[in-house]
């Protein structure tokens, strides 16, 4: 018996979640993907819980209505501020990025001191601190609001970006956290800065990118949802990818490539007010 390939819905405020989609495509190529980027209302990182929750629930409903069987909240801010609300509103399983990131940090740390960088909203929610403290780890959270615009400017290996990173991480690793040995990238834009961040943090620090750990969490969920022992998934050369964006389709194609590493052709404009 051949079973239909599962359809996974991936949601982000914009383009950053494409780094999560990229990790998913590598780990789970035998699925199809819907990606929703709320590009007309990004960024979420500076906005309030109420606003972010409302936007994220709308997007989740949209993906469900388009047959997503599992939702990945690939946006750290939406996960940190609204995962409970999204899970309550959805009728399919929902996977966020915070728990997988915290789990990967717990596996990587030796001295139980972890630094998390993210948007202002993610840090204010203390979602990472709670998830890390639940694993008996000491957490230091630091908001780095300039890193997203620097990535979007394309300055991923620029001297200005390195200075900004040194200022932020100097503060994050100061004051009792000099010996932290894990840095969690609590924002999906940050994986593009990995080479630069490796130069800035002490050599013994492991950088945890929640994209990969989230992909593993999704694979585990799928295993429960569609046990491989019962059915062989329909196999096809490449996953089917469909993208939805609330702002310009042309811009999504242009910027999407930077995050995903290959082209994003099938993009459809969505107006959530309709």
The residues of the shown chain that bind a second copy, judged by CB under 8 A, are: 39-41, 46-48, 50-51, 145-146, 148-150, 152-153, 155, 160, 163-164, 167, 246-248, 251, 273
Task: Count CB-CB contacts under 10 A for residue 1.
Answer: 5
Listed residue (150, 222, 154, 248) closest to 264, CA to CA: 248
Least spacing, CB of residue 250 vs a second copy, in Å: 8
Question: Tokens 């959530």 correspond to what residue?
Answer: 272
- CA-CA-CA-CA torsion sign (66, 72, 77, 81): positive
Cα 238 to Cα 139, 160, 183: the distances in Å are: 40, 39, 33
**Those residues with Cβ within 8 angstroms of residue 193's Cβ, 6 or more apart along the chain or in another chain:** 147, 150, 151, 156, 161, 165, 185
For 34, the enclosing helix (H) or strand (E) is strand 32-37
CB nearer a second copy, residue 178 or residue 273: 273
144 in catalytic set: no
Q: Is 187 annotated in the active site? A: yes
Q: What is the rounded CA–CA span in Å between residue 138 and residue 232?
A: 43
Catalytic residue among 60, 74, 75, 123: 75
Nearer to a second copy, 18 or 104 (CB): 18
Asked if residues 52 and 80 have their Cβ atoms less than 8 Å apart, the reply is no
What is the Cα–Cα distance from 248 to 170, expressed in whole angstroms?
38
Are 206 and 181 in contact, with CB atoms under 8 Å apart? yes
Query: Least separation, in Å, of the C-beta of 196 and a second copy?
Result: 15
Q: Which is nearer to a second copy, 124 or 138 (CB)?
A: 124
- Nearer to a second copy (CB atom), residue 46 or residue 111: 46
Task: Give the shortest CB-41-to-a second copy separation in angstroms.
Answer: 5
- Which token pair is 36? 């929703």
DSSP state for residue 8 in the 8-state scheme: E
Q: Pick the catalytic residue: 23, 63, 187, 270?
A: 187
Q: How far is the CB of 159 from a second copy (least distance, A)?
A: 8
Q: How far is the CB of 251 from a second copy (least distance, A)?
A: 7
The pair of structure tokens assigned to 162 is 């390195």
Least CB distance to a second copy at residue 48 (A): 4
Active site residues: 75, 187
């Amino acid at each position: 018996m051949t079973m239909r390939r599962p359809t996974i819905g991936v949601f982000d405020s914009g383009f950053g979640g494409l780094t999560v989609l990229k990790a998913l495509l590598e780990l789970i190529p035998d699925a199809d993907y819907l990606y929703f980027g709320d590009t007309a209302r990004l960024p979420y990182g500076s906005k309030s819980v109420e606003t972010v929750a409302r936007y994220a629930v709308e997007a989740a409903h949209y993906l469900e209505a388009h047959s997503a069987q599992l939702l990945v909240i690939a946006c750290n801010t939406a996960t940190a501020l609204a995962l409970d609300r999204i899970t309550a509103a959805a009728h399919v399983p929902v996977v966020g990025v915070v728990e997988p990131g915290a789990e990967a940090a717990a596996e990587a740390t030796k001295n139980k001191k972890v630094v998390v960088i993210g948007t202002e909203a993610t840090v204010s929610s203390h979602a990472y601190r709670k998830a890390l403290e639940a694993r008996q780890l000491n957490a230091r959270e630091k908001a780095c609001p300039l890193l997203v615009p620097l990535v979007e400017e394309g300055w991923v290996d620029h001297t200005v970006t390195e200075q900004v990173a040194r200022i932020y991480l100097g503060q994050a690793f100061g004051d009792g956290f000099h010996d932290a040995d894990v840095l969690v990238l609590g924002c999906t834009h940050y994986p593009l800065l990995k080479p630069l961040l490796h130069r800035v943090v002490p050599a013994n620090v492991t950088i945890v990118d929640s994209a990969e750990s989230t992909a593993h969490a999704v694979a585990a969920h799928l295993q429960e949802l569609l046990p491989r022992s019962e059915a062989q998934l329909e196999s096809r050369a490449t996953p089917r990818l469909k993208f939805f964006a609330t702002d310009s389709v042309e811009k999504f194609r242009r910027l999407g490539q930077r995050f995903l590493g290959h082209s994003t052709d099938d993009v459809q404009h969505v107006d959530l007010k309709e």
